[in-house]
Each structure stands twice: as C-alpha cells, then as structure tokens.
Amino acid sequence: MIDRITPRRTRVGLVSGGLGAYWPQFPALLPQLQASARRVTERLSTMDCEVVDAGFVSDPREGAAAAEKLRVAGCDLIIGFLTTYLTSSMLAPVAQRSGAPVLLLNLQPTEVMDHESFDTGAWLAYCGACPLPEMANAFRRLGVEFRSVSGYLEDERAWTRISRWIKAAGVRAALRRGRHGLLGHLYPGMMDVSADPTLVSAQLGGHVEILEVDDLRVRVEKVTEAETKDRVELAREVFTVDESVVDEDFAWGARVSVALDRLVDDFSLDSLAYYHRGLDGETHERVGAGFILGASLLTARGIPAVGEYELRTSLAMLVMDRLGAGGSFTELQALNFRDGVVEMGHDGPAHLGISARKPLLRGLGVYHGKRGWGVSVEFDVKHGPVTLCGLGQGRDGTFTLVASEGTVVPGPLLRIGNTTSRVDFGCDPGEWTDAWSASGIAHHWALGTGHRVAELTAVADLLGLKLTVVRP
C-alpha cells in the first residue's frame, strides 16, 4: 500500500590481483586465481550493490589503470581482492585515488590446503594472507584507512562481515549525498536537540536545507479535495482508524500529508526534521499540528520525518532505515521495575514498517507539550530483538554514534496516541537508564528491529565516528 523509495544502489569497486612474475613459472595459477575473482564478483552481485569490476592486475601499471577506472566510477567502497602475493605498489594508487573507503579481502580457495599433494604453484593460490600485513603497513604510511576480511571463498562468516561493510558503505553514501530538511524552529528550551547544520555537512557530508513553515503552508493550500479524499482512503487501508478520530481532523492530516509529499519532492529531501509552535489555532499552528499522518507515511517510504526539530535523530533514523532496521522516533516514557523493562516510544511520526500489527490512528484533543490537536499514530514495535541508535554530540561539536541492543517483550501499553514498546535490556531498568543517559545521547533516538551493533560498528568506522555501546 505504501511505495517505498528506491535509494541509489551502493557502488562497489573491485580490483583483484597477484604478482605477474608467477604466471610464467606456474601456468595453472593465473586461471585459478581469475576463477576465484569471478566467484567474488558473483557473490558481491547478490548483495544489492552495483559492482564496478576493474579486472585482474599483475603489475603496478595495471594497478594504476584500475585506479583511474575506479576513480571515475565514483565508488562508495573499494574492495581489493588479494588472490595471492602482490606488491603494495600495485594497490596503493587504487586506495589513494578513489576517495572511497578501502576493504581488503583475503579469501583463499578452501578451508585448508592439501599438504600432501600441493606444490609451490598450488600453495600460492592460498597465499593471499601474505601481502595483507604489507598492504596494511603501506596504507598506514600513505595515510589511507583500510579494513580487511580474511577467510575462504565459501566462508559464510567472512561473507557476513563483507556484507556489513557494503551496508555501511551504503549508509555513508546516503549521508554524504543526502539532502536533509530542517523546517520551522527549535522546540523552546531543548538545549540537547539544537544542532549546527554546518557540522552535519562537515562530519557526515550532505546538505541541510533550511525550510520555513510557509514552504509547507502554500503547498497545503493547493491540495485539492480529490487529493485529500484519496489520501484519507490510503490512510484507512494502512491504519486501523479509532472512533476517536474526528473527520475534520482526519481530512486535515491527509491534506497536510499530500503537501508534505510535494515538499519532499520539490526540495529532493532524504529526511525531514520539523517543529512549529503557532498560536491560537491560526493556520501555521494547524499546519504544525497536522504533520503526524504524513510524516509517518513518509518515514514508511524510507524518508525519515521527525518532530521537535530533531535533526540528529532524523539522521539516526536514516541510518537505521538504510540498514533495513526501520527506525522510529523514540524517547523514554517510564521504567517498569516489576517486569524489568524500559518503556519507550514517542508521540508523532513513527516508522510503520516495524509495527507489531496494523497501526492505529487515534484522535487527540491535545498534543502534550505542544500546541494543536488532531490525529496521532499508535503502535507497539514488533516483538523480538531491537537496537537503539542515536547521534550524540560532545562539547567540541563532534558527533558520536550511541547504540544499545535489547528485546521488545509483550505486556501492558499506554493508549494515548503514542508508539510505545517494552524493552528488556537484560538488566535492572534503572541501571540501564543511567548508563544510557551517561553515554552522551540526547533525549531522542531511533529504535529499529534486529540486533545491529555489528553493522553500526562498521558504519561508525566508515564515518570516522566513535561508537558507544551501552551494555550495563
């Protein structure tokens, strides 16, 4: 019912290589290594990425040619496959010129050599580990960051690690190429939420587009009755509509939703953070209060939209969404010491794709702590493993990733038009809350499905950010 956007596919550059001096000495070696390189290309092509294969290089001149091809391709990740020994001069230009993170693969043909039958030529096909320390030393001296995965061709543990790096490269690319909307003004007094847009561009890349509430108001005014009716019908398919929903408020939320879609399209936005206080029921207040339906639908499409001007949380939600974890706007609600769980969620927009059941649309006469009234989204996140992810900020302005893994468990929930989940972190909820609060996180974050710390570790590495994992 909701058509997700199609993000740009992660572009992975691949170069394989070995020392050309071996080929005349061991005629069967090169064909074997090239077959291994083709297998790596096949496996990479199944990982929802575009593979730019620069071929097999045997000397520094071929390495330089491959470097130029991959530089022009604009890759998000460069993979160097060490099929056997090769000199660092063959891959140095590839690593230096691309501007993309580098991943070195040492994948030997099988788990172990047949020591009884192998000669030198057969052994050399298993010798990808030999140049790895050389590459590491040379790259460090050249100022090139790198990471590596060692295993064998059909080693699923190795391929799981490779997949994490490709996902992380996709997240990095989404942030570096992203356009992030910031609409309205800061919620008064929320010192932890304030963010400098220039720091986003400096540390994560991308562009922050500053928007006015009037940018949305003029689009709301142009929405037709037919478009509003169609959006109401879509919402009835997506949500269970509670009897508390007032028809007039439902139609207004639908109208604002259509306008939000146009705003996102017109400014080519990949995420949106907003807040506008307004006054006494005037148009701007009504626009500010009408976001929740449309922002939830946008988030489900893969365009995170959050309230309270929470730019850093909209970015954290984008990270989680691109990892396939969903990512919903979340804060602490209460601690349940009897059941040993932390209750968390938020009023306002939510990621519908991670709801445990068909989400509820509830009518509210007041938004607590905010001006206005209307419809709000209510659901519990799918029961099972979850990960919290937030973007913290230190005194010097440096961003950090903060994460914690837990489990959503069943139990009683509030029915106040909020997303609410009971999360068990395997420890006393008070101790977890103290540790989480001491991590540098602000009071909002993204909650996504699955345990994602391993993936977030790769994301933090490629972004050059510190990752703090809270495990009391």
Q: Which two structure tokens, joined as six digits, stand for 104?
A: 């070195």
**Weakly modelled stretches of the chain, pLDDT under 70:** 368, 370-372
Residues 121 and 256 in one domain: no
| CATH number (domain holding residue 31) | 3.40.50.10940
Question: pLDDT tens across 369-404, in order?
Answer: 766 678 989 889 999 999 999 999 999 999 999 999
Residues 170 and 182 in one domain: no
Residues 216 and 129 in one domain: no
- Boundary (domain end) residue, out of 175, 207, 226: 175
Residues 104 and 156 in one domain: yes
d(CA 402, CA 423): 17
Number of domains in the chain: 2
| CATH number (domain holding residue 362) | 3.20.14
Residues 269 and 387 in one domain: yes
pLDDT on residue 368: 67
Residues 224 and 302 in one domain: yes
Residues 217 and 324 in one domain: yes
- The answer to whether position 1 is within a domain reads no
Residues 250 and 360 in one domain: yes
CA dihedral 13, 130, 146, 461 (to 10 degrees): 110
CB 424 within 8 A of CB 407: yes
The partner residues of 275 in beta bridges, in order of sequence, read 184
d(CA 317, CA 323): 10
The parent domain of residue 368 ranges over 178-469
- The answer to whether position 105 is within a domain reads yes
- The answer to whether position 145 is within a domain reads yes
Is 180 strand, coil or helix?
A: strand
Residues 160 and 228 in one domain: no
pLDDT on residue 374: 83
Residues 169 and 193 in one domain: no
Residues 70 and 166 in one domain: yes
CB 76 within 8 A of CB 10: yes
The partner residues of 449 in beta bridges, in order of sequence, read 386
CB 139 within 8 A of CB 183: no
- The answer to whether position 72 is within a domain reads yes
pLDDT on residue 464: 96
Q: Report how far Cα 195 is from the mean position of its chain's Cα atoms.
A: 19
pLDDT on residue 472: 77
- The answer to whether position 120 is within a domain reads yes
- Boundary (domain end) residue, out of 175, 200, 225: 175
Is 302 strand, coil or helix?
A: coil
- The answer to whether position 3 is within a domain reads no
- The answer to whether position 5 is within a domain reads no
- Boundary (domain end) residue, out of 142, 175, 208: 175
- The answer to whether position 2 is within a domain reads no
Residues 307 and 387 in one domain: yes
